[in-house]
Amino acid sequence: MSAFNFALNLALLKWWSSEDFGLYSILFSASFMILCIQNALITTPYSVLVPASDNPEPLRRTLAWGHLGSLLILAVLLLMLLPLLPFGWSLSLSLAAAAYFCSRWLREYLRNRWAAEFKLLPILTSDLLGIGLFAAGITAIGLHWGWSAVGVTELLYLMSLSQLLCSLPMLWHELQLLRSGGQHHWWQQYQPIWQQSRWSLVGALTTELQNRGYVLFIGAFFGAAVVGFVQAGRVFFGPLNVITSAWTRVAKPTLAQLHGQHQWPQFIRLTHLGGLGFLLFNVVFASALWLSWPWLQQQFFADKYPGIEWVVAQWALATLLFHVRGSYSTAVQAQNRFQELAMATIWGALLSLLVLVLVGLVNQPQWVIAGVLAAETLVLLYVLRLLLPARDKVEPQQC
Of 97 and 26, the one with more pLDDT? 97
Distances (CA, A) of 77 to 25, 65, 71, 125, 299: 21, 19, 10, 32, 41
Confidence category of residue 88, pLDDT binned at 50, 70, 90: low
Separation between Cα atoms, residue 41 and residue 35, nearest integer Å: 10
Q: Is a pLDDT exceeding 70 seen at residue 245? A: yes
Of 155 and 334, the one with more pLDDT? 155
The whole-number average pLDDT for the span 282-296 is 90
The whole-number average pLDDT for the span 376-395 is 72
Separation between Cα atoms, residue 330 and residue 336, nearest integer Å: 10
Q: Is a pLDDT exceeding 80 seen at residue 246? A: no
pLDDT digits (tens, 9 = 90+) for 110-167: 998 888 888 888 888 999 999 999 989 988 887 878 777 788 899 999 999 999 999 9
Q: Where are the beta strands (DSSP E) in the chain?
A: none
The whole-number average pLDDT for the span 326-338 is 85
**Percentage of the chain modeled with pLDDT above 90:** 17
The whole-number average pLDDT for the span 333-338 is 81
Question: Are 41 and 197 within 8 A, CB to CB?
Answer: yes
Confidence category of residue 388, pLDDT binned at 50, 70, 90: low
Q: Is a pLDDT exceeding 50 seen at residue 393? A: no
Q: Is a pLDDT exceeding 60 seen at residue 77? A: yes
pLDDT of residue 239: 67
Separation between Cα atoms, residue 399 and residue 391, nearest integer Å: 21
pLDDT of residue 390: 47
Question: Are 335 and 343 within 8 A, CB to CB?
Answer: no
Confidence category of residue 287, pLDDT binned at 50, 70, 90: very high
| Most confident option among 25-39, 155-169, 338-352 | 155-169
Q: Largest Cα–Cα distance of the chain, in whole Å?
A: 64
Question: Are 355 and 300 within 8 A, CB to CB?
Answer: no
Nearest CA to 236 out of 293, 161, 194 is that of 293
Separation between Cα atoms, residue 236 and residue 220, nearest integer Å: 25
Q: Enumerate the H helices of 117-146 as residue ranges.
A: 121-145
Question: Are 241 and 211 within 8 A, CB to CB?
Answer: no
**Angle, helix 308-334 to helix 241-260, in steps of 10 degrees:** 20
Separation between Cα atoms, residue 302 and residue 351, nearest integer Å: 34
Report the mean per-residue pLDDT for the chain.
Answer: 82
Of 55-59, 112-116, 268-272, where does mean pLDDT reach its minimum? 55-59
Q: What is the 3-state secondary structure (H, E, C) of 236-302?
A: CCHHHHHHHHHHHHHHHHHHHHHHHCCCHHHHHHHHHHHHHHHHHHHHHHHHHHHHCHHHHHHHHHC
Nearest CA to 333 out of 187, 207, 242 is that of 207
Sign of the dihedral defined by the CA atoms of residues 178, 179, 180, 181, in that order: positive
